[in-house]
Structure 1
Amino acid sequence: MRRRSKKTSKQSYFPCEIEKLEKDLKDGFFKSSADFTVKKFEHENKRIFIAFLNYMVEKDQIFKHITEVILQSNTEWDTKALENNIPISGSETRESVKDIGLDMLKGYVAIYIENDDACVTYPVPQLKERQPERAETESLIFGPKISFTESIQTNLNIIHWRLDNPSLVTEKFIIGNEIPSEVRLIYLKDIADDENINEMRNRLNKLQTDDVLESSVLTQYVEDNSYSIFPQLYVTELPDRFCYELKEGKLGVIVDKSSSAIIAPTNFFSFFESTEDLYTRWNMGSFIRLMRLVAMFLSITLTPLYVAALTFHYEIIPTALLVSLGHSRSRVPFPPLLEALILEFLIELIREAGARLPTKVGQTMGIVGGIVVGQAVVQAGFTSNILIIIVALSALASFTVPSYLMGSAIRIIRFPLIIMAGLWGFIGLFYSYAFILIHVLKQKSLKRPYFVPIYPFRPKDIDNSIFRIPFLKSNYRAYSNMPKKIKRFEEPSRQKKEDIDE
């Protein structure tokens, strides 16, 4: 469908001569570009101007569907005739040089009939898209393995394929003053709450920035508290996770040239959920979710507890273990605080190095580096065997979190907790836990409570976050999402027992 752009000034740039349009486009956008290509020819006593960027367009389509059509037709060409006869969809009618230049940077070809009142642009981009592949960051054992790609058109195709629902809405936004990017707000209008939709829509409309590099960058612009270490919006590369959350009444946002999508609003416990929990049996899914929460608590507790006990609270350590600890630390020249910080930093160094190296080399680096370096620091007397075990368990526990952003936040929190435990023992540790809890309770996600269903306490939402119940019993969506349709389905009536005598 043709769309006419709004005039940028009271007086339109057109009509004008072809030479003036060419000069203004070159001076304003393509002065340093050797790929700015202009074709000028005369047909039926009218001069026609065609401009495009050589590396951005499919030149075969320009010749076949534009140039050839114009030259072989006896039509008296003008803007309206172009719109009706050029067999390419998605045309735009532009009345300013700025709009024409921005279109050309996206892979459009500009066509202007001299002294006409507007210019028409057609999309003929030369796209080199990555095909949907297996998800890397959020790997699954059960369920769909496909992930989003960098093409917004491919991602929209995947979403529509998975959600064949007439109430699916995709609102388009253009964000970025210098490098505009297409952003889509996606939701099911029959389920999603209007307040959530309006809030996200307002945040996207008010956003002023030069460009949006990626979905993770957009979350930092639109989240409620950008100073918090905890992520307040969920970023996923899995279409099945994205579509499942839409069906629960949440909103989704996708960004062009980004291989991940945003889910909002979300809560703290959503970062410990995985769609794989849905594909396994309910009791196994519940166990795995609870295990992740316990692992998160152990990850931020074990090393600080070790430091606090050895620095201030020897009395809580059993005698047999105290002897073993004393023997293990007899050659360590550092206090427990410095010892723990060195080892935690070493673990993070190995993890970061393994993540940045190629996949096969990175796996080898993580295994060999952990074994070799760990054994070496123990033999050199820099740390004890017991602390090696504790730090390794803490690191493993943090890796159980499905969300990379939440897992990173948990690993970073360990460092201030270790410092507080080394300076003030259990008192400093408990003050730190209280500060973290208060901070989490105060957070919002799209102005919705972040720590639901615990605070505010909503017992009916617990089965949608902390653990699972059988699907036949889970016929209510989470109240915290404020969905228009709270019921997923009507609970099946219990079959009446047949009379045995009959």
Structure 2
Amino acid sequence: MWGKKSNKKQDTKGTSIFPIKIDTLEQILADKFEKNPDLKFSKYKVANKKVAVFFIDYQIDMPMFQHALMDPLINFEKNNKPFSYESLLNELPLNSGGLVDDLDTVLSELIIGKVFIYIESEKSILGYLMPMKESRSVEKAETESLVLGPKISFTESLSKNLNIVRWLIKSTDLVMEEFKVGKVSPKDVRLIYLKSLANDDDVQTMRQRLKELDVDQVEDAIVLKQYLEDSQLNIFPQFDATERPDRFVYNIVSGKLGVLVENSPSGFTAPATLFSFLESTEDLYMRWQGGTFFRLLRFFAMFFSIIITPTYVAAVTYQYAIIPIQLLISIGQSRAAVPFPPVFEVLLLEFMLELLREAGARLPTKVGQTMGIVGGIVIGQAAVEAGLTSNILIILVAMSALASFVTPSYLFGTSIRLIRFPLILLASIFGLLGIVFGITFLIIHATRLTSLGRPYLVPLYPLHIKDFNKVFVRTPFNYTSKLAKSYRPKILKRYNKEDAKKIRDIDE
């Protein structure tokens, strides 16, 4: 994986080559960029001075370059003013100009979309940032789709994502701290939080981790999240990744921190808990009774998805007594033609299901949907007729898969599916005792986990009963006048509880 750079590499930062002849500068740049044809180097004569303008073709905004820089530069003599960097900074209709005096900075800024102007014999060089950034338009969220609520998702454009966040949080209290992450390919990273709510210790911890991160490059926010998490070895995600701006903003106004990365169509928030991944912003958009029902349904689905197939293996292999007689007869009849032990039967079906899910995700959308439905029916029926598995197990595996897909977070749902496999193996060796041992190990492991230094099972452990109405159920808004104490925001009170309960007259 990416690591720290070797100390043997020569550090050329700060190497100054100016003043220099324009022809010599052209040759140096050609050698550095291996005579890349996209490096454009033009020579002019303005006010009896030799001038060079150079840039990388596809990296800059050409209309802006021609209108705001080249036209005024070529016609500069008509202004009857002395030609110098100072006069250019004053006359050109741009506000991103700056002087540079070392070659390394010139090379690194060329590839991010800067245009440089060099007047021969000067001790520095003038650069203007004119990047051409390609990005798709704001579209509907694909991974985290909702029936109710906003439909837009983040894009690969950091400026668009920041604009969306600013649009949703119209407050001067919103802070967006800028960081550069990556040595070989630096990317802009923004740490976003509400100054009046976010815990100072959390802000300082995240700020320190971003500053001290020493990697060559970060491909995406999901990758950065893994670098910054408290532990990279455990199976549970510790930061809440999302492509939905409304979920991102909801966490920020709850007192959490958000991080957005350049060229990433998603962001993440911290700290997170196990229960954060089972919450959906759709719970807020429906009546509290429905929101509570679906939130509890997700908790049940998570447990059901983990436990159902291991329990089948344990019951059929060892603990026949826990199965009702009529059901046991049905299971025996359906397994009469199956030559394999229950553990192999379950692992085979689980493996086939994961293959179908992965194939459906990689194929084009319409083909993938057809592949998932038709493939599941055909392969399942063929497996039963061939005597590879039983009808009852197909039903249980399908229900387990459906339950794992109920989870709003894709990454957390993947963790739930992976947990089933070691539990199945434990059930095949030790029966129900193995399942109890596995669940106990998961609980102990989760109690030791932290997210940005905060306990992973809060408010269940450590116990905060007053936060239960913000985690396990979705209570009416009149009864949630305070933020969750578990995240330790600076301000708990959101609004006056008594005023919110008042019944307004039609004339008020």
Distance 1:102 1:11, change over 3 A: closer
Distance 1:92 1:454, change over 3 A: farther
Is this contact kept in 2: 1:78–1:116, CA < 8 A?
no
Is this contact kept in 2: 1:24–1:97, CA < 8 A?
no
Are 2:72 and 1:66 aligned? Answer: no
Are 2:489 and 1:470 aligned? Answer: no
115-124 or 239-248, which deviates more:
115-124
Instruction: Find the aligned partners of 1:118 and 1:191 in 2 and give their Cα distance.
Output: 45
Q: What is residue 323 of structure 1 aligned with on the other side?
A: 329
SS at match of 1:476: coil
Instruction: Find the aligned partners of 2:503 and 2:275 in 1 and give their Cα distance.
Output: 39
Distance 1:13 1:196, change over 3 A: farther
Match for 1:24 among 28, 31, 35?
Answer: 28
Match for 1:139 among 145, 162, 166?
Answer: 145
TM-score by length of 1: 0.94
Displacement, 1:272?
A: 0.5
Instruction: Find the aligned partners of 2:422 and 2:48 in 1 and give their Cα distance.
Output: 77
Match for 1:183 among 189, 192, 202?
Answer: 189
Say how many residue pairs are matched. Answer: 491
Displacement, 1:108?
A: 1.6
Is this contact kept in 1: 2:459–2:468, CA < 8 A?
yes
Displacement, 1:13?
A: 4.2
257-266 or 52-61, which deviates more:
52-61
The residue type paired with residue 37 of structure 1 is: K
Instruction: Find the aligned partners of 2:195 and 2:149 in 1 and give their Cα distance.
Output: 27
Displacement, 1:20?
A: 3.4
Instruction: Find the aligned partners of 2:98 and 2:174 in 1 and give their Cα distance.
Output: 25
Are 2:401 and 1:398 aligned? Answer: no
Distance 1:492 1:26, change over 3 A: farther
Instruction: Find the aligned partners of 1:25 and 1:87 in 2 and give their Cα distance.
Output: 27
Are 2:216 and 1:210 aligned? Answer: yes
SS at match of 1:187: strand
Instruction: Find the aligned partners of 2:320 and 2:166 in 1 and give their Cα distance.
Output: 61
SS at match of 2:476: coil
Are 2:262 and 1:263 aligned? Answer: no
Match for 1:383 among 369, 378, 389?
Answer: 389
Distance 1:26 1:462, change over 3 A: farther
The residue type paired with residue 269 of structure 2 is: I
The residue type paired with residue 107 of structure 1 is: G
Is this contact kept in 1: 2:156–2:264, CA < 8 A?
yes
The residue type paired with residue 229 of structure 2 is: E
Instruction: Find the aligned partners of 2:146 and 2:219 in 1 and give their Cα distance.
Output: 27
Q: What is residue 54 of structure 2 aligned with on the other side?
A: 51
Q: What is residue 112 of structure 2 aligned with on the other side?
A: 106
Q: What per-residue deviation string (whole Å, max 9, x for no partner) do you get for residues 154-193 of structure 1?
A: 1111111111110111111111111111111111111111
Instruction: Find the aligned partners of 1:348 and 1:140 in 2 and give their Cα distance.
Output: 24
Distance 1:32 1:301, change over 3 A: farther
Q: What is residue 253 of structure 1 aligned with on the other side?
A: 259
316-325 or 396-405, which deviates more:
316-325
Are 2:320 and 1:314 aligned? Answer: yes
Report matched runs for 1:291-306 at 5 Å.
Answer: 291-306=297-312
Is this contact kept in 1: 2:13–2:104, CA < 8 A?
no
Instruction: Find the aligned partners of 1:298 and 1:203 in 2 and give their Cα distance.
Output: 37
The residue type paired with residue 26 of structure 1 is: A
Distance 1:13 1:167, change over 3 A: farther
SS at match of 2:226: helix
Displacement, 1:293?
A: 0.6
Is this contact kept in 1: 2:180–2:189, CA < 8 A?
yes
Is this contact kept in 2: 1:443–1:450, CA < 8 A?
yes
Displacement, 1:92?
A: 3.6
Displacement, 1:482?
A: 1.6
Instruction: Find the aligned partners of 1:448 and 1:322 in 2 and give their Cα distance.
Output: 46
Match for 1:117 among 112, 116, 123?
Answer: 123
Match for 1:42 among 41, 45, 62?
Answer: 45
SS at match of 2:208: helix
Instruction: Find the aligned partners of 1:134 and 1:51 in 2 and give their Cα distance.
Output: 40
SS at match of 2:397: helix
Q: What is residue 3 of structure 1 aligned with on the other side?
A: none
Instruction: Find the aligned partners of 1:56 and 1:362 in 2 and give their Cα distance.
Output: 36
TM-score by length of 2: 0.93
Is this contact kept in 2: 1:21–1:97, CA < 8 A?
no
Instruction: Find the aligned partners of 2:268 and 2:17 in 1 and give their Cα distance.
Output: 39
Instruction: Find the aligned partners of 1:267 and 1:106 in 2 and give their Cα distance.
Output: 38
Displacement, 1:429?
A: 1.0
SS at match of 1:414: helix
The residue type paired with residue 27 of structure 1 is: D
Instruction: Find the aligned partners of 1:442 and 1:63 in 2 and give their Cα distance.
Output: 59
Distance 1:198 1:382, change over 3 A: same
Q: What is residue 350 of structure 1 aligned with on the other side?
A: 356
Are 2:97 and 1:91 aligned? Answer: yes
Instruction: Find the aligned partners of 2:384 and 2:503 in 1 and give their Cα distance.
Output: 69
Q: What is residue 439 of structure 1 aligned with on the other side?
A: 445
Instruction: Find the aligned partners of 1:409 and 1:204 in 2 and give their Cα distance.
Output: 26
SS at match of 1:452: coil
Q: What is residue 250 of structure 2 aligned with on the other side?
A: 244
182-191 or 330-339, which deviates more:
182-191
393-402 or 67-76, which deviates more:
67-76
Q: What per-residue deviation string (whole Å, max 9, x for no partner) do you get for residues 33-88 of structure 1?
A: 21000111111122222111112222232222112112222332333323222212
Instruction: Find the aligned partners of 1:99 and 1:495 in 2 and give their Cα distance.
Output: 62
SS at match of 1:492: helix
Distance 1:159 1:495, change over 3 A: closer
Displacement, 1:124?
A: 1.8
Distance 1:419 1:84, change over 3 A: same
Instruction: Find the aligned partners of 1:381 and 1:435 in 2 and give their Cα distance.
Output: 35
Displacement, 1:12?
A: 4.5
344-353 or 93-102, which deviates more:
93-102
469-478 or 363-372, which deviates more:
469-478
Distance 1:156 1:8, change over 3 A: farther
Distance 1:55 1:497, change over 3 A: closer
SS at match of 1:38: strand
Is this contact kept in 2: 1:479–1:486, CA < 8 A?
yes
Displacement, 1:495?
A: 5.3
Displacement, 1:125?
A: 2.1
Is this contact kept in 1: 2:64–2:130, CA < 8 A?
yes
Instruction: Find the aligned partners of 2:30 and 2:15 in 1 and give their Cα distance.
Output: 22
RMSD: 1.8
Q: What is residue 415 of structure 1 aligned with on the other side?
A: 421
Instruction: Find the aligned partners of 1:470 and 1:223 in 2 and give their Cα distance.
Output: 33
224-233 or 456-465, which deviates more:
456-465
Q: What per-residue deviation string (whole Å, max 9, x for no partner) do you get for residues 115-149 of structure 1?
A: 32322221222232200000000001101000000
